[in-house]
Amino acid sequence: MDTLADVQRSVKVCSVFIALLMLLCAGIPDVAQGVAPGPVHAGDIATTRQQAEPARVLVLGDSVFHAFTHVDSAAEIMNKSQPTLFATQGCQRLVVEGCMAFAKLSALQQLRRYSGQFTDVVVVGTGYNDRLGPEFKAAVLAITDEAKEQGVDVLWVTYREVRHVRGKAKVMNEQLARLDQRIEHLHIADWNAFSSDSNDWFRSDRLHLVTLGAEKLAELLNTEIAAILAMRDVARGVNAP
Protein backbone atom coordinates (compact mmCIF):
# COMPACT_ATOMS: atom_id res chain seq x y z
CA MET A 1 0.00 0.00 0.00
CA ASP A 2 1.28 3.48 -0.87
CA THR A 3 2.29 5.64 2.04
CA LEU A 4 0.97 9.19 2.53
CA ALA A 5 4.33 10.54 1.29
CA ASP A 6 4.03 8.46 -1.92
CA VAL A 7 0.55 9.85 -2.59
CA GLN A 8 1.72 13.42 -1.98
CA ARG A 9 4.63 12.96 -4.39
CA SER A 10 2.26 11.57 -7.07
CA VAL A 11 -0.13 14.50 -6.66
CA LYS A 12 2.76 16.96 -6.92
CA VAL A 13 4.05 15.34 -10.15
CA CYS A 14 0.57 15.39 -11.69
CA SER A 15 0.12 19.04 -10.75
CA VAL A 16 3.39 20.01 -12.41
CA PHE A 17 2.47 18.07 -15.56
CA ILE A 18 -0.96 19.75 -15.78
CA ALA A 19 0.60 23.21 -15.28
CA LEU A 20 3.11 22.60 -18.09
CA LEU A 21 0.34 21.38 -20.39
CA MET A 22 -1.74 24.51 -19.68
CA LEU A 23 1.22 26.78 -20.44
CA LEU A 24 1.84 24.98 -23.73
CA CYS A 25 -1.81 25.33 -24.80
CA ALA A 26 -1.93 28.99 -23.77
CA GLY A 27 0.90 29.71 -26.19
CA ILE A 28 -1.08 28.16 -29.06
CA PRO A 29 -4.55 29.77 -29.05
CA ASP A 30 -6.04 27.63 -31.80
CA VAL A 31 -4.98 24.43 -30.02
CA ALA A 32 -6.27 25.65 -26.67
CA GLN A 33 -9.67 26.36 -28.20
CA GLY A 34 -9.78 23.20 -30.25
CA VAL A 35 -9.91 25.18 -33.53
CA ALA A 36 -7.80 24.41 -36.57
CA PRO A 37 -5.73 27.39 -37.79
CA GLY A 38 -7.54 29.23 -40.62
CA PRO A 39 -6.17 30.79 -43.80
CA VAL A 40 -4.44 34.18 -43.65
CA HIS A 41 -6.22 37.01 -45.48
CA ALA A 42 -5.24 40.59 -46.28
CA GLY A 43 -7.49 41.76 -43.46
CA ASP A 44 -5.48 39.66 -41.00
CA ILE A 45 -2.22 41.13 -42.30
CA ALA A 46 -3.68 44.63 -42.10
CA THR A 47 -4.75 44.07 -38.49
CA THR A 48 -1.26 42.89 -37.54
CA ARG A 49 0.32 45.91 -39.19
CA GLN A 50 -2.14 48.26 -37.51
CA GLN A 51 -1.09 46.86 -34.14
CA ALA A 52 2.52 47.68 -34.99
CA GLU A 53 1.86 51.24 -36.18
CA PRO A 54 -1.21 53.50 -36.09
CA ALA A 55 -3.40 53.61 -39.17
CA ARG A 56 -3.18 56.80 -41.21
CA VAL A 57 -6.34 56.21 -43.25
CA LEU A 58 -9.93 55.11 -42.62
CA VAL A 59 -12.02 53.96 -45.61
CA LEU A 60 -15.81 54.26 -45.39
CA GLY A 61 -18.06 52.91 -48.12
CA ASP A 62 -21.18 51.06 -49.19
CA SER A 63 -21.40 47.86 -51.23
CA VAL A 64 -19.12 49.25 -53.96
CA PHE A 65 -16.26 49.79 -51.50
CA HIS A 66 -17.12 46.61 -49.60
CA ALA A 67 -14.99 44.86 -52.25
CA PHE A 68 -12.01 45.69 -50.04
CA THR A 69 -13.21 43.06 -47.56
CA HIS A 70 -13.04 40.19 -50.05
CA VAL A 71 -10.46 41.29 -52.64
CA ASP A 72 -7.32 40.74 -50.58
CA SER A 73 -5.02 42.15 -53.26
CA ALA A 74 -6.83 45.52 -53.21
CA ALA A 75 -6.52 45.83 -49.43
CA GLU A 76 -2.85 44.88 -49.70
CA ILE A 77 -2.23 47.61 -52.29
CA MET A 78 -3.51 50.22 -49.88
CA ASN A 79 -1.75 48.86 -46.83
CA LYS A 80 1.58 48.72 -48.64
CA SER A 81 1.37 52.49 -49.13
CA GLN A 82 -0.03 53.40 -45.70
CA PRO A 83 -1.67 51.54 -42.80
CA THR A 84 -5.40 51.56 -43.58
CA LEU A 85 -8.59 50.69 -41.72
CA PHE A 86 -11.73 49.60 -43.60
CA ALA A 87 -15.22 50.28 -42.24
CA THR A 88 -17.36 49.40 -45.26
CA GLN A 89 -20.85 47.93 -45.30
CA GLY A 90 -23.37 47.11 -48.00
CA CYS A 91 -26.32 49.54 -47.91
CA GLN A 92 -24.37 52.03 -45.79
CA ARG A 93 -25.71 55.60 -45.93
CA LEU A 94 -23.97 58.85 -45.05
CA VAL A 95 -25.72 60.03 -41.87
CA VAL A 96 -28.73 57.74 -41.33
CA GLU A 97 -29.23 53.98 -40.99
CA GLY A 98 -28.63 51.94 -44.10
CA CYS A 99 -31.12 50.76 -46.71
CA MET A 100 -31.28 47.28 -45.11
CA ALA A 101 -31.72 46.30 -41.47
CA PHE A 102 -28.21 44.84 -41.17
CA ALA A 103 -26.60 48.22 -42.02
CA LYS A 104 -27.11 49.90 -38.67
CA LEU A 105 -24.20 52.35 -38.63
CA SER A 106 -23.99 55.28 -41.01
CA ALA A 107 -20.71 56.56 -42.42
CA LEU A 108 -20.82 59.41 -39.90
CA GLN A 109 -21.29 56.98 -37.02
CA GLN A 110 -18.41 54.84 -38.26
CA LEU A 111 -16.21 57.93 -38.45
CA ARG A 112 -17.03 58.72 -34.82
CA ARG A 113 -16.55 55.09 -33.82
CA TYR A 114 -13.02 55.05 -35.24
CA SER A 115 -12.04 58.42 -33.77
CA GLY A 116 -8.47 58.23 -32.45
CA GLN A 117 -7.72 54.96 -34.29
CA PHE A 118 -6.33 56.67 -37.43
CA THR A 119 -4.35 59.85 -37.84
CA ASP A 120 -4.73 61.59 -41.20
CA VAL A 121 -7.39 60.87 -43.84
CA VAL A 122 -10.93 59.51 -44.01
CA VAL A 123 -11.97 58.25 -47.45
CA VAL A 124 -15.72 58.48 -48.17
CA GLY A 125 -17.11 56.08 -50.76
CA THR A 126 -20.67 56.07 -49.44
CA GLY A 127 -23.59 57.82 -51.14
CA TYR A 128 -25.27 55.70 -53.79
CA ASN A 129 -28.06 54.89 -51.30
CA ASP A 130 -28.56 58.52 -50.22
CA ARG A 131 -30.87 61.26 -51.43
CA LEU A 132 -29.48 64.10 -53.49
CA GLY A 133 -30.12 67.82 -53.02
CA PRO A 134 -30.19 69.52 -49.60
CA GLU A 135 -29.93 66.19 -47.72
CA PHE A 136 -26.73 65.25 -49.54
CA LYS A 137 -25.21 68.68 -48.93
CA ALA A 138 -26.10 68.45 -45.23
CA ALA A 139 -24.50 64.99 -45.04
CA VAL A 140 -21.26 66.21 -46.61
CA LEU A 141 -21.13 69.12 -44.16
CA ALA A 142 -21.81 66.83 -41.19
CA ILE A 143 -19.00 64.44 -42.14
CA THR A 144 -16.49 67.18 -42.97
CA ASP A 145 -17.33 68.95 -39.69
CA GLU A 146 -16.72 65.74 -37.74
CA ALA A 147 -13.45 65.17 -39.59
CA LYS A 148 -12.33 68.69 -38.74
CA GLU A 149 -13.08 68.03 -35.07
CA GLN A 150 -10.88 64.92 -35.28
CA GLY A 151 -8.13 66.80 -37.11
CA VAL A 152 -8.24 64.67 -40.27
CA ASP A 153 -8.70 65.44 -43.96
CA VAL A 154 -11.55 64.05 -46.08
CA LEU A 155 -11.03 62.38 -49.46
CA TRP A 156 -14.45 62.05 -51.10
CA VAL A 157 -14.78 59.70 -54.07
CA THR A 158 -17.00 60.78 -56.97
CA TYR A 159 -19.91 58.61 -58.06
CA ARG A 160 -20.04 56.75 -61.37
CA GLU A 161 -22.47 58.41 -63.76
CA VAL A 162 -23.82 55.22 -65.32
CA ARG A 163 -27.10 53.47 -65.96
CA HIS A 164 -29.81 53.83 -63.30
CA VAL A 165 -27.74 56.20 -61.11
CA ARG A 166 -26.49 58.44 -63.93
CA GLY A 167 -28.65 61.49 -63.19
CA LYS A 168 -28.34 61.21 -59.42
CA ALA A 169 -24.57 60.72 -59.55
CA LYS A 170 -24.12 63.70 -61.86
CA VAL A 171 -25.95 66.04 -59.47
CA MET A 172 -24.04 64.72 -56.43
CA ASN A 173 -20.71 65.09 -58.22
CA GLU A 174 -21.58 68.69 -59.09
CA GLN A 175 -22.46 69.37 -55.46
CA LEU A 176 -19.15 67.87 -54.35
CA ALA A 177 -17.24 70.09 -56.77
CA ARG A 178 -18.88 73.21 -55.34
CA LEU A 179 -18.30 72.14 -51.73
CA ASP A 180 -14.68 71.28 -52.51
CA GLN A 181 -14.07 74.97 -53.28
CA ARG A 182 -15.46 76.00 -49.89
CA ILE A 183 -14.10 73.37 -47.49
CA GLU A 184 -10.33 73.47 -47.08
CA HIS A 185 -9.86 69.95 -45.75
CA LEU A 186 -12.14 68.34 -48.38
CA HIS A 187 -10.44 66.69 -51.38
CA ILE A 188 -11.97 64.91 -54.36
CA ALA A 189 -10.87 61.61 -55.96
CA ASP A 190 -12.50 61.54 -59.39
CA TRP A 191 -13.38 57.87 -59.69
CA ASN A 192 -16.05 58.69 -62.28
CA ALA A 193 -13.48 60.10 -64.70
CA PHE A 194 -10.73 57.62 -63.78
CA SER A 195 -12.93 54.60 -64.55
CA SER A 196 -14.96 56.02 -67.44
CA ASP A 197 -13.54 53.76 -70.18
CA SER A 198 -13.00 50.65 -68.09
CA ASN A 199 -16.15 48.55 -68.06
CA ASP A 200 -14.10 45.39 -67.49
CA TRP A 201 -13.44 46.65 -63.95
CA PHE A 202 -17.11 46.21 -63.05
CA ARG A 203 -19.91 43.73 -62.77
CA SER A 204 -22.84 43.97 -65.17
CA ASP A 205 -24.34 46.95 -63.30
CA ARG A 206 -21.21 49.02 -64.07
CA LEU A 207 -20.96 49.99 -60.38
CA HIS A 208 -19.85 47.03 -58.28
CA LEU A 209 -16.26 45.91 -58.63
CA VAL A 210 -14.54 42.81 -59.86
CA THR A 211 -11.00 42.11 -58.66
CA LEU A 212 -9.30 44.32 -61.26
CA GLY A 213 -11.65 47.19 -60.47
CA ALA A 214 -11.00 46.97 -56.74
CA GLU A 215 -7.26 47.03 -57.40
CA LYS A 216 -7.59 50.06 -59.69
CA LEU A 217 -9.68 51.87 -57.08
CA ALA A 218 -6.97 51.16 -54.51
CA GLU A 219 -4.35 52.60 -56.86
CA LEU A 220 -6.36 55.80 -57.38
CA LEU A 221 -6.90 56.21 -53.65
CA ASN A 222 -3.19 55.69 -52.94
CA THR A 223 -2.26 58.42 -55.43
CA GLU A 224 -4.68 60.92 -53.93
CA ILE A 225 -3.86 59.97 -50.34
CA ALA A 226 -0.11 60.30 -50.95
CA ALA A 227 -0.54 63.96 -51.93
CA ILE A 228 -2.64 64.68 -48.84
CA LEU A 229 -0.24 62.90 -46.50
CA ALA A 230 2.70 64.79 -48.02
CA MET A 231 0.99 68.12 -47.33
CA ARG A 232 0.14 67.10 -43.79
CA ASP A 233 3.69 65.90 -43.14
CA VAL A 234 5.10 69.20 -44.40
CA ALA A 235 2.70 71.13 -42.18
CA ARG A 236 3.85 69.06 -39.19
CA GLY A 237 7.50 69.39 -40.13
CA VAL A 238 7.82 65.65 -40.71
CA ASN A 239 10.09 64.27 -43.43
CA ALA A 240 8.16 62.09 -45.88
CA PRO A 241 9.30 58.43 -45.96
Secondary element (H or E) of residue 189: strand 186-189
- pTM of this prediction? 0.78
- SS3 breakdown of the chain: % helix, strand, coil, rounded to 5? 55, 15, 35
Helices 211-236 and 72-81: angle between axes, nearest 10 degrees? 20
The tens digit of pLDDT for each residue in 113-169 reads: 999 999 999 999 999 999 989 999 999 999 999 999 999 999 999 999 999 999 999
The tens digit of pLDDT for each residue in 43-56 reads: 444 444 444 678 99
Q: Are 60 and 112 in contact (CB under 8 A)?
A: no
Helix (H, G, I), strand (E, B) or coil at 12: helix
Q: How far is CA 194 from the centre of its chain?
A: 21
The tens digit of pLDDT for each residue in 65-89 reads: 999 999 999 999 999 999 999 999 9
Q: Report the residue count for the chain.
A: 241
Can you tell me the distance from the alpha carbon of 64 to that of 214, in angstroms, rounded to the nearest whole number?
9
